Structure 1
């Protein structure tokens, strides 16, 4: 079944199928996937060539920040091939043995496309065990199993994604070939994404609403989807009520972004990651991810002494406090 989301024992998959019509994040075709034109063009060439050989496309590595559409691309690849699809979120506790069990079962069920999101969470040791899957189409078990191998009977293609390629070994990156790097979305593209989602939810949005909510989405289609879901709950595309209920500023800052700005301000305007972590109560990894937007927007600067709050950052913090 095309685009089927497969679930099985011990399998971590999305509870929500993004192909359902009432989900504003759903992308049903390459044409409805707005932006990332170079990535789409490369993938479509690869898919077409593979299908002409009666094969599935080779393994691929997608690079991009959270919420930029990596899983949507993986689903479109599966849809194009008309094969089953598994979406796995790799957490730090996800073992390579668990993945092996899932892949063996998936192979026995007929194979298809396997999406490994946040693949960098595999340890360096576990990343080593992925080599044979990517190169030899088989699973190589560890020393406890005397190097036993399971060769796939059916086509099993790995589409991996990461928000931090530096945590992947050079050897693993090389086995995927040239990665597919998702770039930043323009304000125009974000406005178009908001418009598509809003229309799908039954709204007739104005240009002003699309532009404002597109900017508030801060380059993230996922955040745009959250805003449109909020509009659905309100039954209105009115900008301010949506932003207030979603707790997102016009610049796209969430309560977590504001907490980081607040911590830097209260710690003297410039401080280190450890201090921000302790003051804000947010995890280090989350702060590192969140501060990318703050740097891009010019709200903080990275200096030799730590994260420094800028004049724009102070202004954004004051505006957020006034709305509380």
Structure 2
């Protein structure tokens, strides 16, 4: 492919839209959904039983770190149930009329997916209690002394709630979900399957060793794997390569500043701050987050699960601690923080 052809490809609306459309890479059915075998096996039984009884599937609660496929699985559940799905998020449900408008327009056995369900306002939660159990909602008509409550029946539906923070979901709401599943980070074999499948969809030729290296660098997360795969496609395409090899992936990861353990620049920044500023810990999550310019939520939801999985950080009752592996991975030792303290004190003496 010469420079002009590559330029035409990159400027093609069709290819740009295809690359950005994450939905193109999402599996549509349970058999195509890789990973989470415990969730798939149970759901297959529950869905089959519900269809045989001609009933709506019981309400489903999905939790786990971001990017593992909770939204995708919600769409798959609707597909397997031959049902229509409506998708919203808790922050979008600002007033009671918002949820009432959705619930009253649902079809029989349809699916309502609410993302970030831990962020629902209490008044919305309370309306869902009756809707989930009795398939009815109370609505106040009029104002003042003339106000009266009307009970409105709604179709039997399936609510699927997804969250990265299950501990923040109100107990009465959580108790109304008949099916609860927690997503775990994917292993390398599962990610390789996802990467190979999506390379076909993206019309990318990929070496087996390249797929494995991509999987190792994807933080156990399909969303990250898909993002890196598309970037490797960009590198290969602009470089004029028809096959993505292990060397191309290695070079691409180096340009993206992703190391051989799948850590990006911010991951390493977190570990360096933990070791140098806080002497390896323990340190509270709020303090550590401020030191690296992140919120405590983003640190806990996005960065920590993988750092803990890789054995780089420990959670203790007193806070976060760097492990021996963290020191060795960054080529540091236990005395490096003393050298850093000396440098900081020296800088202050110069200033004052």
Alignment partner of 1:149 out of 148, 151, 157 = 151
**1:1-324 to 2 correspondence within 5 Å?**
23=23, 25-91=25-91, 94-95=93-94, 97=96, 99-104=98-103, 106-107=105-106, 112-124=110-122, 126-141=124-139, 146-152=148-154, 154-234=155-235, 235=237, 237=244, 238-267=248-277, 268-270=279-281, 271-289=283-301, 290-317=303-330
After superposition, the Cα gap between the structure-2 partners of 1:134 and 1:35, relative to the gap in structure 1 and judged at 3 Å, is same
After superposition, the Cα gap between the structure-2 partners of 1:148 and 1:246, relative to the gap in structure 1 and judged at 3 Å, is farther
Alpha-carbon shift at residue 78 of structure 1 (Å): 1.3
Equivalent-residue separation in structure 1 for 2:54 and 2:198 (angstroms): 35
Equivalent-residue separation in structure 2 for 1:318 and 1:286 (angstroms): 26
After superposition, the Cα gap between the structure-2 partners of 1:316 and 1:89, relative to the gap in structure 1 and judged at 3 Å, is farther
Equivalent-residue separation in structure 1 for 2:267 and 2:101 (angstroms): 37
8 Å CA contact 1:115–1:160 kept in 2: the answer is: yes
TM-score by length of 2: 0.75
Alpha-carbon shift at residue 172 of structure 1 (Å): 1.7
Equivalent-residue separation in structure 2 for 1:57 and 1:302 (angstroms): 37
Alpha-carbon shift at residue 163 of structure 1 (Å): 1.8
Alpha-carbon shift at residue 125 of structure 1 (Å): 5.2
Q: Which structure shows the bigger proportion of residues in helix conformation?
A: 2
Structure 2: tracts of 5 or more residues without a match: 1-16, 333-352
SS in 2 for 1:45: helix
Alpha-carbon displacement from aligned partner over 1:120-154 (angstroms, at most 9, x marks no partner): 112455433321121011233479775443321x4
SS in 2 for 1:160: strand
After superposition, the Cα gap between the structure-2 partners of 1:168 and 1:159, relative to the gap in structure 1 and judged at 3 Å, is same
After superposition, the Cα gap between the structure-2 partners of 1:123 and 1:74, relative to the gap in structure 1 and judged at 3 Å, is same
Alpha-carbon displacement from aligned partner over 1:161-219 (angstroms, at most 9, x marks no partner): 12222112222222112412223422211111111111221123222112111111121
After superposition, the Cα gap between the structure-2 partners of 1:303 and 1:180, relative to the gap in structure 1 and judged at 3 Å, is closer
Equivalent-residue separation in structure 2 for 1:104 and 1:119 (angstroms): 16
Equivalent-residue separation in structure 1 for 2:72 and 2:318 (angstroms): 39
Equivalent-residue separation in structure 1 for 2:292 and 2:104 (angstroms): 43
After superposition, the Cα gap between the structure-2 partners of 1:147 and 1:284, relative to the gap in structure 1 and judged at 3 Å, is farther
Alpha-carbon displacement from aligned partner over 1:44-90 (angstroms, at most 9, x marks no partner): 22222222333331211112221111111111111123332222232
* Count of residues in correspondence between the two structures: 299
Equivalent-residue separation in structure 2 for 1:311 and 1:59 (angstroms): 44
Structure 1: tracts of 5 or more residues without a match: 1-16, 320-324
TM-score by length of 1: 0.81
After superposition, the Cα gap between the structure-2 partners of 1:245 and 1:157, relative to the gap in structure 1 and judged at 3 Å, is farther
Equivalent-residue separation in structure 2 for 1:22 and 1:68 (angstroms): 13
SS in 1 for 2:132: helix
- The higher radius of gyration belongs to 2
* Range moving further from structure 2, 21-30 or 114-123: 21-30
SS in 2 for 1:34: coil
8 Å CA contact 1:120–1:162 kept in 2: the answer is: yes
8 Å CA contact 2:57–2:157 kept in 1: the answer is: no
Task: Find runs of 4+ consecutive structure 1 residues off by over 6 angstroms.
Answer: 142-145
Kindly report the root-mean-square deviation, in angstroms, between the aligned alpha carbons of the 2 structures: 3.0
8 Å CA contact 2:34–2:194 kept in 1: the answer is: yes
SS in 2 for 1:106: coil
